[in-house]
Amino acid sequence: MSANPIPIPTPTDEGKSMRPPMNFQTRRMRVNSQRRYLMNYLVTGLAVLSTVLVIVPLVAILVYLVYKGASSLNFAFFTQIPAPVGESGGGMANSMLGSGIILLLASSMGIPVGIAAGVYLAEYGRGRLLAMSVRFTADVLNGIPSIVMGIAAYSLIVMRQLHFSAFSGGVALAIMMVPTITRTTEEMLMTVPHAIREAALGLGVPKWRTVISVSLRTASPGIITGCMLAFARVAGETAPLLFTAFGNQFWSFKLNEPIAALPLQIYVYAISPYDEWHRLAWAGSLVLILMIMVSVTLVRIYAGRNTLKGAS
Amino acid sequence: MPQAVPTSRMEEGTPSGDAPRLHAPAILQFVEAAEPVAQEGPQSPIRKYLNARSSGGVADKTVAGLRLICAVSIFGVVIFILTILIMRSKLSLAQFGFSFFTRSAWDPVSGDFGALPFIVGTLETSLLALAMAVPLAMGVAIFLSELCPERLRAPISFLTELLAAIPSVVYGLWAVFVLVPLMRDQLGPFLYKTLGWTGLFEGANFGVGMLTASIILAIMILPIVSSITRDIMLAVPVSQREAVLALGATRWEMIRTGVLRNARIGIVGAVILGLGRALGETMAVTMVIGNHPDISKSLFAPGYTLASVIANEFTEATGNMYLSALIEIGLALFIVTIIVNAIARALVWAVTRGAPARVN
**Residue A214 in this model has a pLDDT that exceeds 80:** yes
**Residue A36 in this model has a pLDDT that exceeds 50:** yes
Residue closest to B308 by CA, chosen among B225, B216, B226, B221: B216
pLDDT of residue B22: 46
Confirm if A223 and A114 have CB atoms less than 8 A apart.
no
HSE-CB for A91 with a 13 A CA cutoff? 14
DSSP string, A68-93: HHHHH--HHHHH-PBPPTT---B--H
What single DSSP character describes residue B259?
A: I
Q: ∠ at Cα A261 (A259, A264), nearest 5°?
A: 115
Using one digit for the tens of pLDDT, what is the confidence trace for A86-109?
777 778 888 889 999 999 999 999
| Contacts by residues B150-159 (CB-CB < 8 Å, ≥ 24 positions apart) | B156/A51, B156/A55, B157/B227, B157/B230, B158/A300, B159/A55, B159/A58, B159/A59
Residue closest to A130 by CA, chosen among A114, A116, A149, A117: A117
**Residue A243 in this model has a pLDDT that exceeds 80:** yes
The shortest CB-CB distance from A238 to any of B169, B178, B337 is to: B169
Residue closest to B320 by CA, chosen among A155, A242, A257: A155
Q: Do B250 and A281 touch (CB under 8 A)?
A: no
- CA dist A54 → B159, B221, B226, B284 (Å): 11, 11, 10, 19
Give bridge partners of residue A259 from the DSSP assignment: A246
pLDDT of residue A307: 47
pLDDT of residue A182: 92
pLDDT of residue A5: 57
pLDDT of residue B330: 92
The shortest CB-CB distance from A44 to any of B78, B252, B310 is to: B252
Tell me the one-letter amino acid at B357: A
Per-residue pLDDT tens, chain B, 360 aa: give them. 344 444 444 444 444 444 444 444 444 444 444 445 555 566 777 777 767 766 667 788 888 888 888 888 888 999 999 999 999 888 888 888 888 888 888 888 888 888 898 999 999 999 999 999 999 999 999 998 888 888 888 888 888 877 888 899 999 999 999 999 998 888 888 888 888 777 778 777 888 889 999 999 999 999 889 988 988 888 888 898 999 999 988 889 999 988 988 888 888 888 988 998 899 888 999 999 988 888 888 888 888 999 999 998 888 877 888 889 999 999 999 999 999 988 888 887 777 665 444 333
Q: Do A51 and B327 touch (CB under 8 A)?
A: no
Three-state secondary structure call for residue B39: coil
**Residue A242 in this model has a pLDDT that exceeds 50:** yes
Distance CA B219, CA B125 (A): 12
What is the average pLDDT score of chain A? 83
User: Does 1.10.3720.10 match the CATH number of domain A98-261?
Assistant: yes
Confirm if A245 and A168 have CB atoms less than 8 A apart.
yes
Q: Can you say how many angstroms the Cα of residue B165 is from the centroid of all Cα atoms in its chain? A: 15
pLDDT of residue A171: 92
**Residue A3 in this model has a pLDDT that exceeds 60:** no
Three-state secondary structure call for residue B107: strand
Answering whether pTM is above 0.90, one says: no
Using one digit for the tens of pLDDT, what is the confidence trace for A252-299?
888 888 888 999 999 988 888 888 888 889 999 999 988 888 877 777
**Residue A312 in this model has a pLDDT that exceeds 60:** no
DSSP string, chain A: ----SSPPP-HHHH-TTPPPPBTTB-HHHHHHHHHHHHHHHHHHHHHHHHHHHHHHHHHHHHHHHHHHHHHH--HHHHH-PBPPTT---B--HHHHHHHHHHHHHHHHHHHHHHHHHHHIIIIISTT-HHHHHHHHHHHHHHTS-HHHHHHHHIIIIIHHHTS--HHHHHHHHHHHHHHHHHHHHHHHHHTS-HHHHHHHHHTT--HHHIIIIIIHHHHHHHHHHHHHHHHHHHHT--GGGTTTTB--SS----TTS-B--HHHHHHHHHTSS-HHHHHHHHHHHHHHHHHHHHHHHHHHHHHHT---TT--
CA distance B61 to chain A (A): 9
pLDDT of residue B38: 52
- CA dist A209 → A121, A216, B59, B207, B236 (Å): 17, 10, 9, 61, 38
Distance CA A232, CA A217 (A): 23
CA distance A277 to chain B (A): 12
Using one digit for the tens of pLDDT, what is the confidence trace for A136-189?
899 888 888 999 999 989 888 888 888 888 899 999 999 999 999 998 899 888
Q: Residue A246: its chain B contacts at CB < 8 A? A: 315
ipTM: 0.81
pLDDT of residue B127: 93
The shortest CB-CB distance from A292 to any of B146, B165, B255 is to: B165
pLDDT of residue B6: 43
Distance CA A106, CA B76 (A): 18
A308 φ, ψ (degrees, to nearest 5): -75, 125
Q: Do A139 and B341 touch (CB under 8 A)?
A: yes
Tell me the one-letter amino acid at B66: L
Q: Do A116 and B67 touch (CB under 8 A)?
A: yes
Domain ranges in chain A are 98-261
Using one digit for the tens of pLDDT, what is the confidence trace for A264-273?
999 988 888 8
HSE-CB for B73 with a 13 A CA cutoff? 22
Three-state secondary structure call for residue B112: strand
The shortest CB-CB distance from B140 to any of A54, A237, A263 is to: A54
Size of interface A-B (CB pairs under 8 A): 269
